[in-house]
Chains A and B, each alone.
Chain A
């Protein structure tokens, strides 16, 4: 019972990059437990994907061919089967939207603790300790997990992906899916409307967050963007409120952008936001809270009230 089982992720025929980070995380843990690293590939073109997952540190790749796209009921049954077979100490999945849709059920089925959104995992003797963030990334906590086993979901971008090839064994797993236990059916996908502009094409983004407070205050942001020849984008709450269309949203569930300059105004820097803009060449943050996590990734910052700085900047540029 020292083995590690990781569950990879794919969507519409493509492997999600977090899968390779899972291998990195799993291989590291397996080296500490002295066990094997098992990789689960469930639904879709499993043979093709298994070949891609044959990377350094992987011992066994299990393929379960049932289903095309992600369905949590199939994942749940497939993982239950593999858990039975492999008897893993830790099951590790991504803290992705789909990971959030099955990992809690896996932990419930196994009757073991669940720790989500890990940014660090350490094993000291028998004691598992997981590092995670709380209060909108303002504090980092370590939690000691009781018992031997656990299900852990990891945050994307925290473990280095494994790139080099390996020599894993591939096992084709045949399971009898219990169709009567499938209570949901995926009928298709929808894509967000392209809208008026493609913010991922912009060289300069003036991006606004909840700090703007009221819809009418957006005027000062548009004025700045006009003066600077920049495009306006936003964090999620601005789009949720309907103040800007969805195609302006930067982040995990919006667009990924990498402009030359990204000016984050009144944006705290939540992980789901940062996922969409950390590739910007120069990041400038304007926020009146010096503890806001956005300053951790910004190159330049101003700790001040945006209602003072933004109009002053427009004026200085004019």
Chain B
């Protein structure tokens, strides 16, 4: 059995930052493994540990910088990795969902996995749609926002989908299928020292769009960022200032005014 995990490196912005034009300059960005993908990796690795002959392959779209993040996935137990990049991709500020799905679908076609795990969403652009778009493009079955996953003996999968308001939907899905993984489904491991050492020996295959039989037109982005700003707030927040003991006593006065304590 083969499991493919999509792994994205996401940008987070520092507490104080500026926007220049339609982007945040590099100096305010930090890069990290996408939180949801950490759970997707763990789900794949646990599946490989519980069954014989499961190969776990990760796929990432990203520039050379992202290798560091891919090594984390390898250190956690992914067997080998694929990194897709093309200088032409660097021209796109925002890769839209169909573009990503079209690229990843070529990898699905080449690797022919039984199961694909993606995160529910990426922390930065938060489309929350690539996994399902990939399934539809690859003619796979799917389930979105999965917080419990069980591979049954008959080769089907039973999942819980986490709906709103504490309700979960119980669903059976035929394979091959894509599952978008929700945080909390498992406890992602930390990479062990041994894992980190072993990750150095593992393969990260570098793949271009041409290698996948795609040209840039095939993924031509439909979305263009035309402006970026800090949200205008209608906030009427009253900020308490001073050192902690001073703000604390202002809060106590507030509690008194609100009638929640008798001071």
Contact = CB atoms under 8 A, between A and B. Distances in A.
Contact of B225 (A95, A133, A141, A147): A141
Contacts of A237: 183
A301 B166 contact: no
Point out which of A135, A228, A299, A302 has the most chain B C-beta atoms below 10 A from its C-beta: A135
How many chain A residues sit at the interface, stated as a range, is 35 or more
Interface in A111-155: 113-117, 129, 132-147, 150, 153
B173 interface: yes
A190 B245 CA distance: 46
Contacts of A2: none
Contact of B98 (A114, A143, A256, A284): A114
A316 B239 contact: no
B244 A142 contact: no
Given A183-B174, A189-B170, A116 B127 contact: yes
Given A100-B144, A144-B224, A254 B166 contact: yes
B262 to A, nearest CB: 11
A108 B225 contact: no
A299 B183 contact: no
Contact of B235 (A76, A239, A253, A295): A295
Contact of B171 (A145, A186, A255): A186
A108 B143 contact: no
A193 to B, nearest CB: 9
Contacts of B97: 104, 107, 114, 116
Contact of A240 (B101, B183, B222): B183
Interface stretch (B64-72, B189-197, B249-257): B249-257
Contacts, number: 270
Point out which of A146, A247, A255, A256 has the most chain B C-beta atoms below 10 A from its C-beta: A146
Contacts of A114: 96-98, 127, 129, 133
B164 interface: yes
A107 to B, nearest CB: 7
Point out which of B19, B233, B235 has the most chain A C-beta atoms below 10 A from its C-beta: B235
A114 to B, nearest CB: 5
A242 B7 CA distance: 24
A290 interface: yes
Contact of B128 (A117, A146, A309, A311): A117
Nearest to A204: B260
A132 B225 CA distance: 10
Contact of B141 (A139, A143, A183, A289): A183
A82 B130 CA distance: 24
A185 interface: yes
Interface stretch (B78-86, B118-126, B206-214): B118-126
Main SS of chain B's interface residues?
Answer: mixed
A79 interface: no
Contacts of B168: 189-192
Given A105-B136, A114-B98, A316-B252, A191 B167 contact: yes
Contacts of A143: 94, 223-226
Contacts of A304: 244, 247
Given A108-B101, A189-B169, A256-B165, A134 B125 contact: yes
A297 B236 CA distance: 8
B244 A312 contact: yes
B145 interface: yes
Interface residues of B, number: 87
Contacts of A142: 225-228
Contact of A309 (B143, B160, B169, B244): B244
Nearest to B137: A108
A137 B170 contact: no
A136 B168 CA distance: 25
B174 A104 contact: no
B217 interface: no
Nearest to A263: B251
Contact of A113 (B96, B128, B167): B96
A101 interface: yes
Nearest to A297: B235
A105 B140 CA distance: 11
Given A101-B143, A301-B238, A139 B230 contact: yes
A116 B128 contact: yes
A302 B127 CA distance: 32
B44 to A, nearest CB: 18
B230 A187 contact: no
Nearest to A249: B166
Given A186-B170, A236-B184, A101 B249 contact: no
Nearest to A137: B231
Contacts of A188: 169-170
Interface in A249-302: 252-256, 260-261, 282, 284-285, 288-291, 293, 295-302
